[in-house]
Chain A
Amino acid sequence: MSDAARWLLPSMFDHKAITDAIAGPLVEGKAGKRWWIAVLISLAVTGIGVIATGISFAYGPGMWGNNSAVVWGFPIANYVWWIGIGNAGTLISALLLLTRQKWRNAINRFAEAMTILAVSIAGLFPIIHLGRPMYFYWMAPYPNTMGLWPQWRSALVWDFWAILSYLLFSLIFFYLGLIPDLATLRDREGPSHWRRIWGAFALGWQGTPAQWRSHQRLQRVMAVIATPLVCSVHSIVGLDFAASLMPGWTESVFPPYFVVGAYFSGFAMVVLLALVIRSALGLEAMIRPAHLDACAKMLLAAGSVMLLSYGSEWMSALWTGEAADLRFLRFSFTGTYSGLTYGMILGNCLLPQLFWSPALRRSVPVLVIVSAGVLFGMYFERILIICNTLSIGYEPAAWTLYVPTLVDFAILLGTGGLFVFAFLLLSRVIPLVPMYEIRELAEVAKGEVR
């Protein structure tokens, strides 16, 4: 089979068919019963998180499992996990654009949407974790009567700029790609109020060769900027840990190791979203088994790099011979949280090895199990980074175990609900697969088949 034709069924070689398949449900279709049920469930779950956050605000961080030794706990693990997922969308989109991968077209839009939602959610956690969230704006430099400025050496301030810049940049990148598709929605028959909204956001796009050239030029420029930006954002998250002096944290491998981990968990989420979207929106002709195969290969590669990273981390501890580092390593494998360590290795390193088999790379149940395993494994990793190090630091008298509370779990669950809820809303108002890019792919595929 020709290269482009692998990524698209012949039924989608016609531009009108592509537009109808993607825009049809948005413009004409009514939301089905399944969509409403999913919205209600996700809204209820979000409500649980809102209540738990409200309890935290009313009664303070004492409602969480955090203690005087493990001061970070779930809020920071949640932050790192969500921003990891958020890192992948723009990175996937930008990298695949720069390397001219044809399979980018089917997944880049919803991966970018995933980024925006996940980074927005991630950004909530440092604020929630502040203890006095109403003063979060103190991280921004603004003239004030106290004559104070942010402490630029603080990891919290680095995070503030990293998240803010990355979120807004990703939003621009996402919107840029959306403009031609908004014009398509504007020009179709459909509800007039929505057409007016799409029309306003389409900015008067016509699709002339001159406009296309400018559009493509900026998209490539932004992809070039996005790639190092994404790496820097999660490197900064890695530096939050590595810039400290704690055992298990102060390692130079952390920034790249965090970037790979982010890419890994984000790709796992992309796979799950791809499976849901292709089935729920009937886009099997565009999100093909070849796409799943390609994503599975990425998971396999990233999982193998994760194994190497863990090995490097463990070897560093062994090699230094530092008592605190060795204690940390022993505690990881035999201590209270060792079950999570083995879960992490299973989810992040062993399960992806199934993808050496081409048949398993295209098996939906296996893809679901492995992707979910990676997401759980990565969460275990995030919480272990915090708990293992802080529970048994340099001062034995201060050793304290961390046990999350119901409020901790409710906040985490709530953010999951919020992510699903926001994604469901997005799926009704914007095309989750870029129509113009699929049309371009269809033209190439047609040429190859001829």
Chain B
Amino acid sequence: MTALAIASFADEAAFRAGVAKADEAGRRVVGLWSPYPVEIGAIGEEMAAPIAWIAIAGGLAAAFLFYGFIWWTATQSYPFDSGGRPLHSWQVFLIAPIEFGALAAGVAGMIAFIVRARLTRLHHPAFDIAEVERASSEHFVIALACDADDGGDVLALLADAGAVHSRMVTR
């Protein structure tokens, strides 16, 4: 039967030690949770990498589209001679697209973040684990896959790394 070994750690150093020991022992890490940003190797890099580019692309696209719209309204749809100024007054037409482009970059980045970080899943199986709830406020948590018969070894490994609490969860 598949089981999970769940362990809580009081500080980042012990948490990192737990992840390293699990890795050395060839254990499959099912989940990691921390109460503040902790980078573990390259975990999540693939997920995070496109966010900046999506934000930049979204901002630039919105700014160019908006500039095109302004150009069209001011020179094609309703040409208006304002004190002899050129219909295409590009210097002042840049202002609104720059502001709007920055906003669009933020919106695009936020959408990318929500999608890439797989948010909006308000009901996730992880929330059924009491330790995960505490991870948002104080503890670092590691969940390792194991079988019911080698659970003791895994718990011992986590305790050795400095876990303050560990237990088996069967699913």
List A residues at the B interface (Cβ < 8 Å): 14-16, 19, 23, 141, 147-153, 157-158, 161-162, 164-166, 168-169, 172-173, 176, 179-180, 183-184, 186-188, 199-200, 203-218, 221-222, 225-226, 228-229, 232-233, 236, 239, 435-437, 439-440, 443, 446
Contact = CB atoms under 8 A, between A and B. Distances in A.
Contact of A152 (B59, B70, B118, B135): B70
A209 B43 CA distance: 7
B31 A208 contact: yes
Nearest to B73: A149
A437 B36 contact: yes
Interface stretch (B20-28, B77-85, B144-152): B77-85
B119 A157 contact: no
A263 B43 CA distance: 38
Nearest to B12: A443
26 contacts: A15-B35, A15-B139, A23-B137, A151-B80, A152-B70, A152-B93, A153-B89, A162-B95, A173-B106, A203-B114, A203-B122, A206-B135, A207-B33, A209-B43, A212-B44, A214-B47, A214-B51, A214-B116, A216-B37, A217-B48, A217-B113, A218-B109, A222-B106, A222-B109, A229-B102, A440-B36
Contact of B52 (A147, A164, A221): A221
A interface, over-half SS:
helix
A205 B127 CA distance: 10
B96 A161 contact: yes
Interface in B10-45: 11-12, 31-40, 43-45
Contact of B40 (A161, A172, A209, A222): A209
Contacts of B82: 151, 153
B113 A207 contact: no
A440 B120 CA distance: 25
A162 to B, nearest CB: 5
Contacts of A15: 35, 137-139
Contacts of B51: 214, 217-218, 221
A440 B39 CA distance: 12
B103 interface: yes
B interface, over-half SS:
helix
Contacts of A205: 119, 136
A19 B137 contact: yes
Given A23-B137, A172-B106, A443 B122 contact: no
B157 interface: no
Given A169-B106, A206-B33, A208-B32, A213 B44 contact: yes
Contacts of B49: 217
Contacts, number: 195
A320 B110 CA distance: 49
A199 B136 CA distance: 12
A153 B35 contact: no
Nearest to B80: A151
B126 interface: yes
A439 to B, nearest CB: 4
B153 interface: no
Interface string B44-73: 110111011001000100000000011001
A217 B52 contact: yes
| Interface size of B as a range | 35 or more
B105 to A, nearest CB: 5
A212 B73 contact: no
A225 B106 contact: yes
Interface in B92-124: 92-93, 95-96, 98-100, 102-103, 105-107, 109-110, 112-114, 116-124
A192 to B, nearest CB: 14
B118 to A, nearest CB: 8
Given A172-B110, A211-B117, A443-B36, A206 B98 contact: no
Contacts of B59: 225
Given A16-B137, A19-B137, A204 B119 contact: yes
B34 A207 contact: yes
A200 B120 CA distance: 8
B169 interface: no
Contact of A180 (B69, B124, B136): B136
B95 to A, nearest CB: 5
Nearest to B122: A204
Contacts of B47: 210, 213-214
Contacts of B73: 141, 149-150, 152
Nearest to A150: B73
> Nearest 4 CB-CB pairs, A to B?
A210-B44, A213-B44, A149-B73, A165-B103
B133 interface: yes
A213 B43 contact: yes
Contact of A176 (B33, B113, B123): B113
B35 A439 contact: yes
B66 to A, nearest CB: 9
B84 to A, nearest CB: 12
Given A161-B96, A221-B109, A443-B12, 9 more contacts: A15-B35, A152-B70, A153-B82, A165-B99, A206-B136, A210-B43, A211-B117, A214-B47, A440-B36
